[in-house]
Structure 1
Amino acid sequence: MHSEHPTNSAAGDCPSVGALLERLGGTILTLANPDAELDPAITGLEFFDPASLERVPRGSILLVPSWSTLDAEGRADLLERAASADAPALVFQGGDEQPAPFIGAQRRTAILRLSPYVSWRQLDALVSRFLGENAPGIPTTATTGDHLFALANSLAAVFGGSVAIEDHGRNVLAYSSLPEQLIDGLREQGILQRRVPDSERNLDQYRTLLGAPGVIRFPSSPGEEPRAAIAIRAGSLPLGSIWAIDPEGADLNLPLAVAKTEALVRGANLAAAHLLESWRASESAQRPREEALQRLLLGMSSGEELSVLGASREQPMAVVGFAATSAATSPRLLQQLRSIVDRHSRVRVELALTTIIGDTLYALVSSESGETAYALASETVALARRTLEAPVFAGVSEAARHAGAVAALRVEVDAVLRACIGADRAVARTTEVQPQLVIDAAVDSFAGQPFLRHGALGRSFAAGTTREAELRATLLTWLELGSISAAATALRIHDNSVRYRLQSLQEAWGVDLSDADERLALWLELRAQAFAESRAKS
């Protein structure tokens, strides 16, 4: 049994499985076969595909999201094939808590269990960052202790133009300051504001950059010099970007100098290592706060959540729910929406905390009366619709002053958000959609508790017949308009026809339309049924 994890690979400069476990072991990765060889070098990682396992590059860690769907025979076969392909390690998530005997017997491939609290995307980023630390870097001689500023100066020396390093929210993290560098108005504005100005041109450039691998070049425009840029990534996770003004880049038909291309690529590797380290520290600090917020929203409070969140017990709070309804709706879209909400809210309110539960992004914000939260939601939805090019909606709760009310506010927000989406209304608070909330609640009640339905509505006439539809329409119209004459006009029939139909349904259904309570019950069910049918069609 190995008592220590070796930190250096026996094969060149590539890190070993043991070195990976030193970095990520314990909380993220757990070794399931302690007698496995930990010296093999890691060169990359690949998601498991049974059809192409033989083509996986030597030294690649295999990621197996489908592990929990395999039976014992399938898992044993997979491990044997992984060992035959010289895979240094295999990572799985879920499955049996106790490793099966064939796992413990495996020696050639390390079997690593991924924590259920870490996504495959996060693991991809963490391992890629770990591997990227072995890439050659750019020599820097800057006197500042900030590595990103040093990196920006190194790149500016290669290009002869100003360089900016930005995070995924387009905030300027670092910039070059060489005396002879070329700089333009857009870069100066970004440095002064520590953020790239919002514009359709800038958004288009970012979409182009993040959608393509490698270095991308952009032509000059009024007030803007030509640029070369590269996305900063850790695996498939976008972390930010590097933008270099290129004084020699006016003619895009001429290729970018090899030295400049290589400098940007190496610079992106170095920046990724730094940003991901910061991201890991931020994630570690943020997780307890997010878990506390989720407990409040789900009504599972232990009484300590407000102190974890840094909120006082007297501080009034409101909940805002955001949702994006689109064919392209995905976890990635929700994360992009969260980034916009975080960036926009934290400079406008004292307290702004966000989390994603299901398909909804929730924000807990300080708000004296709900007006602050409403204004914030309106601004954020408008910005998100422009940026994401997707239909984004927001529901805003009233304000409350104690933690126990947060779960009730979430229920309120869910109802308001549902009404917003149904009415295609971008933003609303409870008071603005109150009638719709009542109808929505009636629809849910009738669907979930069939005994509430008026037996007469389905007893005397076969469902779906023309006669039934005619009687229901007549009754609903008469109940809503309050007079036979008005109902006849709306239905384009004679007054006597309305009287005849009402008399017929009273006799056939055994209802008493002179009873106010019975009229209310009939109207509520008919109105809920009409709304449910309308919602289903839309």
Structure 2
Amino acid sequence: MDLAKSPIVDGTSEELFALANAVAAVVGGSVAVEDLDRRVLAYSALPGQPMDDLRRRGILERQVPDDEPEQRGQYREVLAAPGVVQVPTLGADEMPRSAVAIRAGDLPLGTIWAIEGPAATDPAGRLVPAAERALLDGARLAALHMLRRRSSAELDLHAREDALRDALNGSGPAAEARYRLGLPDRARLTLLGLAPRRTPGGEAPPLVRLAAAAARHWAAVHTDAAVTTAGRTVYVLLAELDPAAVRRLAEQAVATLGRTFGTPLRAAFSRGADDLGELPVLRSEVDDILRVTTAGPDSPEVADLSDAHAGVLLAHLADELARLPRLRHPGIEAMVAHDRAQQTAYAASVTAWLDAVGNVAQASERLAVHPNTLKYRLRRARELFGLDLDDPDVRLSCWLQLRLSA
């Protein structure tokens, strides 16, 4: 069947179902059309079509179950591939599938997943040309259908997304950006950032799905919000809200979206500003906070600069030490090298003493050594590495360098 010549797509939802049936007639197995959130928009219903429990659950719940961690990788692979992908099964009861991304130009809209019928593959297991062509034609026609069903409100959201991205990059006059974003003159603006917390061996949700879910969330809770993405962060511009309201909305977003994706998220919000031209500065502030809060499990889920000031300051100092190595105290470098080569503990001892603000009893207890042992190590650190620990400025300099290299 030549899908390219099928009279499908006139803007009605029934035609996505007809499209799924047309693809299934060629590929042989059950076909599902999904959006970027893996919601099942349409599915085939041909008599006798092969179907497994995963497909049945997806149809009944109108949402593909997220039972296997590897599923996210498969979706990323399909959305990144230029053509059809044959996807390996993840369970003993799962049937082989082929999938293709639905795109409008470079804009991803969703995916089509087809269970491979007996005639869909050759003896080597490769998809036959007719089945591959049916999936590609189906994806092209599904894109037209999905674009036609986009409302003017969605198109407006995309226009605001582009306008906010330009404003964050400092592109174009602020007055033009204010007009494109529909903001009143001198509106009090706050920038919010959302990003997944970095976890060892963890897998963040695809940014395109997080961004789409975030856009829907903010459209529901604060219709004037503008949402865009850059890097690994979703940015939200809020107008005329006080810090308490921003924090409350950020907490709701973190809880809702984190639960949706099963991934811990962090939110950071900037100080308020009246000038849209300050958005690049507000973005830097938000990025600084997220750099700190996404790095540790104990960091606050929602933070402004006052919540993360110490971490942000230390991160900038670490950047300066990396950029200008000559700023490092040579004695600290020598002490760390000595510990590494001789298996000594001078750096740990000095750090513990500085952390305890010179309290030998507290520092020695933390190190699990006798106070006299700690006093000896401190004396030897002074002698061997030229550390004048009686000078408060030197103590601060040494502590910063040791703290940042820990």
Bin the TM-score by the shorter chain. 0.5 to 0.7
Matched residue, 1:439: 314
Q: Is 1:377 paired with 2:254?
A: yes
* Alpha-carbon distance in structure 2 between the residues aligned to 1:347 and 1:416: 26
The aligned residue for residue 53 of structure 1 is: none
Write the letter of the residue equivalent to 1:413: V
Structure 2 residue matching 1:422: 3-state secondary structure: coil
Distance 2:366 2:200 in 1: 38
Identify the match of residue 458 of structure 1 among 330, 342, 345.
330
Change (3 A) 1:350 1:531: farther
Counterpart of 1:200 in structure 2 is 67
Structure 2 letter corresponding to 1:149: E
Q: Which has the larger radius of gyration?
A: 1
User: Is 1:338 aligned to residue 211 of structure 2?
Assistant: yes
Q: Deviations over 1:123-162 (max 9, x none)?
A: xxxxxxxxxxxx753544x8x9425533534655887x99
Secondary structure in 1 matching 2:220: coil
Q: Any conservation in 2 of the 1:394–1:428 contact (CA below 8 Å)?
A: yes
Identity score, percent: 19
- Partner residue in 1 for 2:285: 412
What are the within-5 Å matches in structure 2 for residues 495-514 of structure 1? 495=372, 498=375, 501-502=378-379, 505=382, 509=386, 511=388, 513=390
Per-residue CA deviation, residues 311-368 of structure 1 (Å, 9 max, x unaligned), is 44546533214267699999x95445434433444434334444444x3323114362
Q: Aligned ranges for residues 137-216 of structure 1 at < 5 Å? A: 137=4, 139-140=6-7, 145-146=10-11, 149-153=14-18, 156=21, 165-171=33-39, 187=59, 189-190=61-62, 196=63, 199-200=66-67, 204=71, 207=74, 210=78, 213=84
Judged with a 3 Å threshold, the aligned counterparts in structure 2 of structure 1 residues 230 and 298 are, in CA distance, closer, same or farther, namely closer
CA contact (8 A) 1:231 1:268 kept: yes
Secondary structure of 2:295 counterpart:
helix
2: CA distance, partners of 1:216 / 1:494: 63
- AA of the residue aligned to 1:486: Q
Partner of 2:100: 231
Question: Cα 1:384–1:177, aligned 2, differ >3 Å: closer, same or farther?
Answer: closer
Question: Does structure 2 retain, via aligned residues, the 8 Å contact 1:393–1:417?
Answer: no
Whole-angstrom distance in 2 between the partners of 1:489 and 1:324 = 34
Judge conservation of contact 2:31–2:43 (CA < 8 Å) in 1.
Answer: yes
Separation in structure 1 between the aligned mates of residue 59 and residue 64 of structure 2, nearest angstrom? 10
TM-score (norm 2): 0.63
Change (3 A) 1:173 1:306: farther
- The structure that is helix-richer by fraction is 2
Q: Output the amino acid matched with 1:296.
A: A
Secondary structure, aligned partner of 1:304 = helix
Matched, 1:487 2:356: no
Counterpart residue identity of residue 167, structure 1: D
**Residues 412 and 164 of structure 1, relative CA distance in 2, 3 Å threshold:** same
Instruction: Name the residue aligned to 1:530.
Output: 402
Structure 2 distance, partners of 1:414, 1:156, is 47
Give yes or no for contact 1:484–1:499 (8 Å, CA) kept in 2.
no
SS at match of 2:160: helix
* 436 and 448 in structure 1: CA distance in 2 versus 1, 3 angstrom threshold: same
Give per-residue Cα distances to partners, 1:245-293, cap 9 Å, x unaligned: x9xx9xx6x54799x96876644442244446889x9999777634532
Whether contact under 8 Å (2:31, 2:113) holds in the other structure is yes
Rounded to whole Å, the distance in 1 between the matches of 2:72 and 2:322 is: 49
Q: Deviations over 1:7-48 (max 9, x none)?
A: xxxxxxxxxxxxxxxxxxxxxxxxxxxxxxxxxxxxxxxxxx
Going from structure 1 to structure 2, the CA distance change for 1:490 and 1:346 (only over 3 Å counts) comes to same
- In the alignment, is the contact (CA less than 8 A) between 2:161 and 2:227 conserved in 1? yes
Contact 2:20 2:31 in 1 (8 A): yes
Aligned residues: 367
- The whole-number CA distance in structure 2 between the counterparts of 1:318 and 1:177 is 47
Matched residues in 2 for 1:500 and 1:206: separation?
52
SS at match of 1:347: helix
Contact 1:393-1:420 within 8 A present in 2 as well: no
Q: Write the distance in 1 (CA, Å) between the matches of 2:15 and 2:291.
A: 50
Give, in whole Å, the separation in 2 of the partners of 1:206 and 1:476: 43
Are the aligned partners of 1:377 and 1:396 in contact in 2 as well (CA < 8 Å)?
A: no
TM-score, reference length from structure 1:
0.50
Residue number in structure 1 paired with 2:125: none
Distance (whole Å) between structure 2 residues aligned to residue 237 and residue 413 of structure 1: 27
Distance 2:43 2:374 in 1: 80
Q: Quote the Cα distance in structure 2 between the aligned partners of 1:139 and 1:512.
A: 82
- How far apart are the structure 2 equivalents of 1:316 and 1:272? 36
Q: Which has the higher contact order (CA 8 A, sep 6+)?
A: 2
Residues 216 and 138 of structure 1, relative CA distance in 2, 3 Å threshold: farther
Q: Which of 216, 228, 240 is the aligned partner of 2:110? A: 240
Task: Report the Cα distance in structure 1 between the residues aligned to 2:384 and 2:72, rounded to whole angstroms.
Answer: 70
Q: Which residue matches 2:124?
A: none
Offset of residue 374 of structure 1: 3.2
In 2, Cα distance between equivalents of 1:524 and 1:421: 27
- Distance across 2 between alignment mates of 1:502 and 1:199: 59
RMSD over aligned Cα, in angstroms?
5.7
Aligned residues of 1:400 and 1:406 also touching (Cα < 8 A): no
Contact 2:3 2:134 in 1 (8 A): no
Q: Which runs of 5+ in 2 are unaligned?
A: 47-54, 90-94, 122-127
Q: Does 1:429 align with 2:303?
A: yes
Shift, 1:490, TM fit: 3.7
SS in 2 for 1:423: coil
Q: Report the CA distance shift for 1:138/1:439 in structure 2 as closer, same or farther (over 3 A).
A: same
Q: In the TM superposition, what is the alpha-carbon distance from 1:411 to its structure 2 partner?
A: 2.0
**1:296 counterpart (139, 146, 167):** 167
Unaligned runs of 5+ in 1: 1-134, 191-195, 219-225, 387-391
* SS at 2:174 equivalent: coil
Deviates more, 1:366-375 or 1:502-511: 502-511
Classify the secondary structure of the residue corresponding to 2:84.
coil
Matching residue's letter, 1:411 = S
- In structure 2, C-alpha distance between the alignment counterparts of 1:204 and 1:443, rounded to whole Å: 38
Of residues 211, 214, 220, the one that matches 1:347 is: 220
| 1:394 counterpart SS class | strand
Work out the CA distance in 1 between the residues paired with 2:202 and 2:381: 49
